[in-house]
């Protein structure tokens, strides 16, 4: 038997390879009401049987016709309910049960509200099938056997269910649509199989650090402390993906999941779920439409406060009040823009044992310190953790009050007492601890970890870790975000772990990246995948986390990090820019100043992203889905609509090949204009990365500032990215506004003019004269 190591990824697909388990494959449809979409399927009982084939032993599923006594009390081929319902013009819900038992439906933490059915699509019916159709596409449902085809508006097949009749082969390696009963406890798991087209690409599934296109990969969706960004493991798995064919799927469960996108069989995607029921949402549309539909169900990010878009300065860890003040003043003295000072695990008396109290010797006046920081334009971020070791001063209290996750004996299941966030007593106790810190002057709480609840732990909710493990980050994110919003009026956390729905509680960062090119490349892929999973905001530890930064890598990563939605310096020391060469400091300062100049643009694009459920960091294909090459690019991204960012990903490189989508693009360093829909070799100078402006854009910016407290929204500048041959268009959103304003600019008598006077006092800058 394979050894399972605590809190490593739990691959539920392995259950489907066990000879001793019972398999149930879909047979005939015994009932179906095409008006309600409800019916019954007869599931045919199968077992694996070994076979011999030209000196190879393999196995295949074989139909069974009897079960153990008493035969009269059990169905050999059970009939179970299913339902297909229509949620919107682009969203369909497929639900399948694996038993005849009906349990009361519970509210889901993953969904913003209970899902209501929309109007049934137009229906055409024959004896064999029923076709549901609207302007987005159609669903063809076979009324005799389980066969569902999903077609786009041009009647082209997107995907279809894969049952035994669709997988005819001598030794098919594809897993058909099925469910199993596990022989060790008779629990049931589901395998939902769908066809893959030869040229199809798959994206999403959370913050996955592997290749951006998940086709040919097998992803285990189980929150894990990966301690890496070059690994198959994930801090933030999300059971949602989209296809280049024009569809997406969301498996609504918190049970362990494994998504096999053609790794086992190239023509088949199999979504393995530890749940005993299948609850699957299917979305039609472009990437933007799919994410808008998905986020309408699971929620969209609120807009974080303006200051959070500035630079965060941290290390592991500032360990005294004196050091914190010195770093803050060093940033101001050396003119490095910054808005947040992060104090990691060094503020407690007993090492990293979080007791929510400042060490009285090293932090004698924490309230005064945070007030001092505020007066100099800094917010304070504090680290904490929901795990408590036996040496933690709070350990005995947590045990006495039974605030922890339990094992079967009611005891602590691991070495640490891990807070049970399904227990109202625990939530009140924990909230009081955070409330006190926020009232002292902290502005944001770092919600670190959250991936280590034991699989067989018992929760106050009545569930085990089998269903609560993946849900724990969402509960954790929610509690920290809500108590922060209640105390400060701002919705902001700094979280590492996540699950579907966590996008409602920004911001998340990418975990413990290696200090290497591979760590940086994996981090970017993870961020792009995360954005394609419904998260508008994301950050990462600039320079890598797990070691002291290497100056050359640190400089390249600074460009990538500061050209992200949120930007944090963090990891093993030293991190302060003045600990590096003069040339490094000059380049770092220039990149940081540019980020701050573009905060009006970034804040506006962030608002628009929240409004639609889109990421701020976007793959090229998200903005340009009709550009076939853009679907292959995983080391460039769009920052909103108008900035294309191409980091330098290799040590020693000063230039790189950059693919540009349709239109024209302006290099911000050289002012050179490049044609789109082709590759270019582009050199970088001081920015240590390539930044291009979309031709035809009007980008709001500010003059140099070193804190967002200095930003004057009444004196916004506009960077006009056009030569006058066409109008330039831009949007602006500032704190306090209800909606964005959209502006147009044209050139008249060799001077740029605002076409419509929506906003006064604008300073217009031609891209050729823009200085930073």
In angstroms, the CA 670 to CA 74 distance is: 76
Rg over CA atoms, the chain: 27
Residue 666 has phi, psi (to 5 degrees) of -115, 125
* 381 touches 312 (CB < 8 A): yes
| Catalytic option among 344, 451, 517, 766 | 451
Q: Alpha-carbon distance 131 to 108, whole Å?
A: 30
How far, in Å, CA of 749 to CA of 747, rounded? Answer: 7
Name residue 194's beta-bridge partners: 161, 269
Residue 699, H or E segment: strand 697-701
DSSP category for residue 113:
S
Does residue 732 sit in helix, strand or coil? strand
8 Å CB contact between 495 and 508:
yes
d(CA 744, CA 696): 10
Structure tokens at 104: 């009361």
How many helices, marked H, and strands, marked E, lie in the chain?
Answer: 12, 42
Q: With CA atoms as reference, report the closest residue to 96 among 158, 140, 35, 161.
A: 161
Please answer whether residues 617 and 538 qualify as being in contact, where contact means their C-beta atoms are separated by less than 8 angstroms: yes
Residue whose C-alpha is closest to residue 30's, from 98, 72, 80: 80
Q: Pairing mode, if any, of strands 188-195 and 178-181?
A: antiparallel
Residue tagged active-site, from 420, 512, 514, 766: 512
d(CA 589, CA 687): 10
Establish whether 634 is a catalytic residue. no
Widest distance between CA atoms in the chain: 93
3-class SS letters over 303-323: CCCHHHHCEEECCCCCCCHHH
**Exposed, middle or buried by CB within 10 Å (0-12, 13-18, 19+), for 637?**
buried
Q: Residue 467 and residue 275: Cα distance in Å, rounded?
A: 8
Cα distance between residue 474 and residue 468, in whole Å = 10
CB neighbourhood size of 294 (10 A)? 27
Strands (E), 286-359: 311-313, 340-343
Count the helix, strand and coil residues of the chain and give each as a percent rounded to the nearest 5: 20, 30, 50
Tokens matching residue 481: 């975000």
Q: Phi and psi of 29, rounded to 5°?
A: -85, 115
Q: What are phi and psi of 356, to 5 degrees?
A: 65, 20
| Known catalytic residue at 451 | yes
| SS3 label, residue 518 | helix
Cβ–Cβ under 8 Å, residues 525 and 210 = yes
**Is 107 an active-site residue?**
no
Identified catalytic residue from 200, 275, 276, 448: 448
Q: Which positions are annotated as active-site residues? A: 448, 451, 512
């Amino acid at each position: 038997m394979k050894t399972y190591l605590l809190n490593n990824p739990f691959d539920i697909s392995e259950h489907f390879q066990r000879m001793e388990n019972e398999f149930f494959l879909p047979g005939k449809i015994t009932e179906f009401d095409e008006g309600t979409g409800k019916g019954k399927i007869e599931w045919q009982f199968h077992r694996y049987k070994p076979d011999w084939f030209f000196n190879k032993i393999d196995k295949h599923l074989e139909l069974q016709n009897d079960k153990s006594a008493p035969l009269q009390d059990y169905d050999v081929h059970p009939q179970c309910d299913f339902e297909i319902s229509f949620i919107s013009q682009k969203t369909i819900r497929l639900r399948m049960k694996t038993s005849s038992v009906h349990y009361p439906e519970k509210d889901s933490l993953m969904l913003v509200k209970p899902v209501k059915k929309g109007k049934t699509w137009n229906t055409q019916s024959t004896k064999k099938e029923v076709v549901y159709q609207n302007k987005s596409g159609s669903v063809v449902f076979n009324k005799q056997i389980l066969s569902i085809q999903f077609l786009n508006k041009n009647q082209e097949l997107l995907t279809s269910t894969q049952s035994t009749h669709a997988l005819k082969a001598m030794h098919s390696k594809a897993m058909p649509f099925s469910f199993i009963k596990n022989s060790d406890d008779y629990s049931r798991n589901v395998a939902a199989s769908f066809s893959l087209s030869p040229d199809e690409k798959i994206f999403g599934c959370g913050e996955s650090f592997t290749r951006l296109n998940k086709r040919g990969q097998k992803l285990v969706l189980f929150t894990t402390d990966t301690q890496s960004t070059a690994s198959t493991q994930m801090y933030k798995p999300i059971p949602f993906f989209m296809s280049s064919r024009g569809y997406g799927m969301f498996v609504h469960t918190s049970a362990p999941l494994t998504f096999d996108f053609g790794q086992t069989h190239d023509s088949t995607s199999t979504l393995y779920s530890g749940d005993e029921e299948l609850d699957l949402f299917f979305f039609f549309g472009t990437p933007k439409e799919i994410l808008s539909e998905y986020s309408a169900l699971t929620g969209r990010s609120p807009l974080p406060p303006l200051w959070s878009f500035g630079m965060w300065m941290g290390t592991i860890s500032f360990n005294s009040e004196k050091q914190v003040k010195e770093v803050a003043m060093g940033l101001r003295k050396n003119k490095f823009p910054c808005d947040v000072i992060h104090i990691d695990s060094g503020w407690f008396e007993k090492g990293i044992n979080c007791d929510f109290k400042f060490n009285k010797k090293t932090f004698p006046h924490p309230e005064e310190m945070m007030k001092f920081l505020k007066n100099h334009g800094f917010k304070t971020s504090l680290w904490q953790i929901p795990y408590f070791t036996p040496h933690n001063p709070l350990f005995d209290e947590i045990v006495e009050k039974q605030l922890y996750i339990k094992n079967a004996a009611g005891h602590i299941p691991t070495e640490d007492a891990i807070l049970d966030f399904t227990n109202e007593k625990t939530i009140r106790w924990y909230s009081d601890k955070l409330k006190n810190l926020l009232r002292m002057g902290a502005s944001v709480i770092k919600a670190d970890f959250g991936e280590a609840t034991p699989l067989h732990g018992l929760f106050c909710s009545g569930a085990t870790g089998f269903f609560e493990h993946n849900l724990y980050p969402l509960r954790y994110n929610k509690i920290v975000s809500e108590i922060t919003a209640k105390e400060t009026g701002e919705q902001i956390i700094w979280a590492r772990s996540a699950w579907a729905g966590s996008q409602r509680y920004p911001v998340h960062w990418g975990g413990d990246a290696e200090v290497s090119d591979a760590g940086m490349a994996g981090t970017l892929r993870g961020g792009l995948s995360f954005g394609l999973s419904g998260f508008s905001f994301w950050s990462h530890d600039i320079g890598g986390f797990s070691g002291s930064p290497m100056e050359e890598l640190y400089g390249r990563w600074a460009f990538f990090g500061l050209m992200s939605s949120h930007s944090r310096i963090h990891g093993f020391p030293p991190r302060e820019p003045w600990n590096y060469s003069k040339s490094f400091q000059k380049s770092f300062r220039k990149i940081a100043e540019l980020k701050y100049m573009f905060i009006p643009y970034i804040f506006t694009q962030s608002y628009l992203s929240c409004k639609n459920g889109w990421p701020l960091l976007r793959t090229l294909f998200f903005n340009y889905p009709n550009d076939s090459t853009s679907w292959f690019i995983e080391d460039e991204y769009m920052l909103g609509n108008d900035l294309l960012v191409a980091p330098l990903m290799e040590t020693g490189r000063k230039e790189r090949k950059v693919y540009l989508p349709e239109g024209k693009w302006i290099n911000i360093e050289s002012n050179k204009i490049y044609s789109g829909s082709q590759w270019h070799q582009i050199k970088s100078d001081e920015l240590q990365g390539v930044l291009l402006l979309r031709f035809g854009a009007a980008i709001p910016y500010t003059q140099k500032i070193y804190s967002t407290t200095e930003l004057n929204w009444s004196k916004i500048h506009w960077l006009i990215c056009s030569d006058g041959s066409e109008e330039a268009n831009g949007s602006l959103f500032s704190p306090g506004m209800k909606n964005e304003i959209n502006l147009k600019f044209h050139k008249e008598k060799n001077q740029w003019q605002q076409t419509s006077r929506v906003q006064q006092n604008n300073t217009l800058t031609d891209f050729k004269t823009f200085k930073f």
